[in-house]
Amino acid sequence: MLPTKKLLPSINLLLNQARHASTKPKTGIIMLNMGGPQKVDQVHDYLLRIMTDRDMIQFPMMQDHLGPWIAKRRTPEVMKKYEEIGGGSPIYKWTQTQGELLCKQLDAQCPESAPHKHYVGFRYVEPFTEDAMQEMERDGVKRAVIFSQYPQFSCATSGSSFNAIYKFYKKRDLPKDLKLSVIDRWATHPLLVKTFADLIRKELDKLPADLKQDAIILFSAHSLPLKAVNRGDSYPSEVGATVNLVMHELGYCNPYQLVWQSKVGPLPWLGPFTDDAIKGYVKQGKKTFLLVPIAFVNEHIETLHEMDIEYCKELGEELGVKDIYRVPAPNDHPLFIDALTDLVKQHLTSGVGVGNKFLNRCPHCVNANCLASKKWYSEVCLNSIKAI
């Protein structure tokens, strides 16, 4: 017997509710990153947020005045760079792609925690970290993994994003039925290592035999002020660990060097700097270089402009060296998506809410936010996981 017309709306409503319930996310993956302006008119506010973030940068005095002044002063130059790479950063596009592929694989491999949904949480541009947490709450997620997209942990990058979540919940209650846990670093994950090794092999194989043999592999990562290194920031050692494992995977096939880029301001930063290293090797008679963005998981201003334009093109022309090449960032490489999937999959079954290394402050930490933040994570994450 067919349903009457009066019953049809009720049946449709029930079907819609059932459909919504079946797709409602059970597990949320919050993907933390710095972010980048998608349009040039967002550059000033992006820089302003960076320059006034005391977790990222600590001026010796008057940060509330110096930060805005530096942001305003640098805006025209940085806008020009974004215009030269197409008018904005592709980091949001790549993070969305990575998140979608990650959750698709998690749904297939981890049906007990499915459906999974990713949330993009950028520190200095929309969608902000706070926006990701609010969206996740609205979705009614019961289990959330805060997943840093910086493989190597630094207090200035990963730490700032984690502190932002603490500050967000400092002003509001954490939902009682929400279970939080943290993936804070993954510099030595085997599939991350294999991803970089595969990308490097493919670029080396494009070179003629004589160039391939002589090419110096320059692993380039964002530098750090020496005062941060001396406080005990683990970032340099974690980047070095990734480099060593990648070269081991490659059988130490070529000469290589870890170098550092993106220095800002007059204070001493960790070196050698990427451009200075290239100049130094050219003086030694070296002519072929392969740049590897070892601390970046997707394309953005520091790969597309600093590496591709400033180093490979402009510096190459200045030095009369035409063989400076660059390995792509992991982006949507299948091995990299497998790495993300394995990290979350293993984490969900580990029963570990937050790692001891994350909870341990640097020996010379001067950031009061870190003290309060780590205390909050130790209470919330450990209790959450134990309560599952």
The catalytic residues are 189, 342
Do 336 and 330 contact (CB within 8 A), yes or no? yes
Question: Any idea what the Cα angle at residue 194 is, between residues 335 and 244, rounded to 5°?
Answer: 150
Calpha distance 223→170 (Å, rounded): 31
Indicate the residue type of 177.
Answer: D
Calpha distance 59→197 (Å, rounded): 38
Calpha distance 131→120 (Å, rounded): 9
Strands 116-122 and 143-148: unpaired
- The tokens for 354 are 């937050």
Strands 179-183 and 323-326: unpaired
- The tokens for 46 are 């992006």
CB contact burial 150-182 (16+ within 10 A = b; e otherwise) = bbbbbbbbbbbbbbbbbbbeeeeeeeeebbbbb
- The tokens for 44 are 């000033």
Within 8 A by CB and 6+ apart from 108, the residues are none
Do 123 and 32 contact (CB within 8 A), yes or no? yes
Helix axes 91-109, 334-350, angle to 10 degrees: 60
